[in-house]
Amino acid sequence: QVQLQQSGPGLMKPSQTLSLTCAISGDSVSTNSAAWNWIRQSPSRGLEWLGRTFYRSRWYNDYAVSVRGRIAINPDTSKNQFSLQLNSVTPEDTAVYYCARGPCSGTSCYSMDVWGKGTTVTVSS
């Protein structure tokens, strides 16, 4: 049974870098059969997919247009986890952040089937 355990700070100041980690159990971050995603949810923006990382002979990333340029999602194979970094945060980045697995088959990936419990991140001066 795949489980995702999130960790990271909940309170940040504007201009800081948000850093969250998602530890995987029951699967491998290096598998060819999944992509590893970050999604956030706020009252003003609803559910918003931020990006993903996946391994297919080499590592790939896809990022949402809304955060492209200040986001990085990186795997850590030694700890079987992946992380989210979001630079230059503003109060608009206040949200519940989720990590999630998206199963894949061959070159096709499907929507998220296993989710972490969520981390509430508040950006305030």
- The alpha carbon dihedral of 66, 111, 84, 63 has a sign of negative
Give burial (CB, 10 Å; 0-12/13-18/19+) of 80.
middle
CB atoms within 10 A of CB 66: 13
47 membership: H or E segment, kind and range? strand 46-55
For residues 44 and 125, which CB has a smaller minimum distance to other proteins in the complex?
A: 44
Residues that bind other proteins (CB under 8 A): 37, 39, 46-49, 51, 62-65, 98, 100, 102, 109-113, 115-118
For residues 77 and 110, which CB has a smaller minimum distance to other proteins in the complex?
A: 110
For residues 62 and 76, which CB has a smaller minimum distance to other proteins in the complex?
A: 62
Q: What's the min distance (Å) between Cβ of 52 and other proteins? A: 8
Q: What's the min distance (Å) between Cβ of 121 and other proteins? A: 15
